Amino acid sequence: MNGNYFKIARIAKQDIYQFIKNTGESLIDYHFSSYLNYYLKRYNIKILEHHFSCRKIEGLTLINEDGVSFSYEKYNSTEKQNFTMCHELGHFVLGHSGKCFTELRGKSDSVKEREANIFSATVLMPDIVLLSKIFYRQDSFQRVKADLVVSCEALIYRLINLFVNLLLDSRDKVYQVVYHYYHGNNQYILDYFRIAKEKMSLSIILCKHSSKADIVNQIGFQVCPYIGQNLCGFVVLA
């Protein structure tokens, strides 16, 4: 997962960092909704609710001659709906080929679904926002969760994947660090952020100063022809 994680996370970070820079949004007050609304308005994307009795379909993306629409399960929690909306946006921004994408309940083996999950987690909880809230302001797990309107599970997995892929520590060791943070002991996670912040700063610099062509060449993606290039960051096609 490491290589794919970095490819997708870097695409998401490039776009979200540029958006934050353009809008002047505070890292401490960041909320994904302004980024999502930018795309909804710019590309006239419709957001709809759905409900199926089996409750197996979390989200849908439909792309046809009438435009683009995302839908989410209306009886899911707000936190899950947020993840689903960003997941569906991920299919769009990543330029996944196809006209219909279905997010099913439970773990998916689909590469496109995993990529959309990585994108969603990165947009909901950007590295630099987590750094600002957890390391600099030293917010509790519960406060970060509440501010970003994400589930406990989503924040736990986001932190685990962030440190496993950034610091290359074992998943078991990272899990213990996140476990302590979840239960109110932030000592270990502050140590992790202290080590990771230099790599995160380098990542921010690379994203800010790399051109679209440079990054596309480095990670082996193609610019998505459906959306075009007039974006706050850039869009790619897997």
Digits of tens for pLDDT over the chain (238 positions)?
566 788 898 899 989 999 998 999 899 999 999 999 999 999 999 998 888 766 677 887 888 888 888 988 899 999 999 999 999 999 888 887 655 666 656 666 688 889 999 999 999 999 999 999 999 999 999 999 999 999 999 999 999 999 998 898 899 999 999 999 999 999 999 999 999 988 776 555 544 544 444 433 433 443 343 343 333 333 322 2
pLDDT of residue 222: 38
Give the contacts of 68 (CB within 8 A, at least 6 positions apart). Answer: 43, 44, 45, 46, 61, 62, 92
Strands (E), 79-220: 100-104
**Residue 65 and residue 114 share a domain:** yes
* Pair (113, 191) in one structural domain: no
Neighbours of 112 (CB within 10 A): 16
Specify whether 133 is located in the same domain as 94. Answer: no
pLDDT at residue 204, rounded to an integer: 57
- The DSSP letter of residue 99 is S
C-beta of residue 49 within 8 angstroms of C-beta of residue 59:
no
Cα(237)–Cα(87) distance, rounded to whole angstroms?
A: 16
Q: Which among 76, 92, 125 is the end of a domain? A: 125
Q: What is the pLDDT of residue 152?
A: 97
User: Which position has the token pair 């609710």?
Assistant: 49
Structure confidence at residue 158 (pLDDT): 97
Helix (H) / strand (E) element for 104: namely: strand 100-104
Kindly state whether residues 92 and 140 are assigned to the same domain. no
Torsion of CA 8, 9, 15, 19, to 10 degrees: 160
Residue-range definition of the domain harbouring residue 185: 126-215
Distance CA 58, CA 52 (A): 9
**Residue 76 sits in the same domain as residue 118:** yes
Would the pTM count as exceeding 0.75?
yes
Supply 59's token pair: 């989200």
Is residue 93 within 8 Å of 235, Cβ to Cβ?
A: yes
> What per-residue confidence (pLDDT) applies to 139?
97
CA distance 9 to 221: 13
The count of other CB atoms within 10 Å of the CB of residue 221 is 19
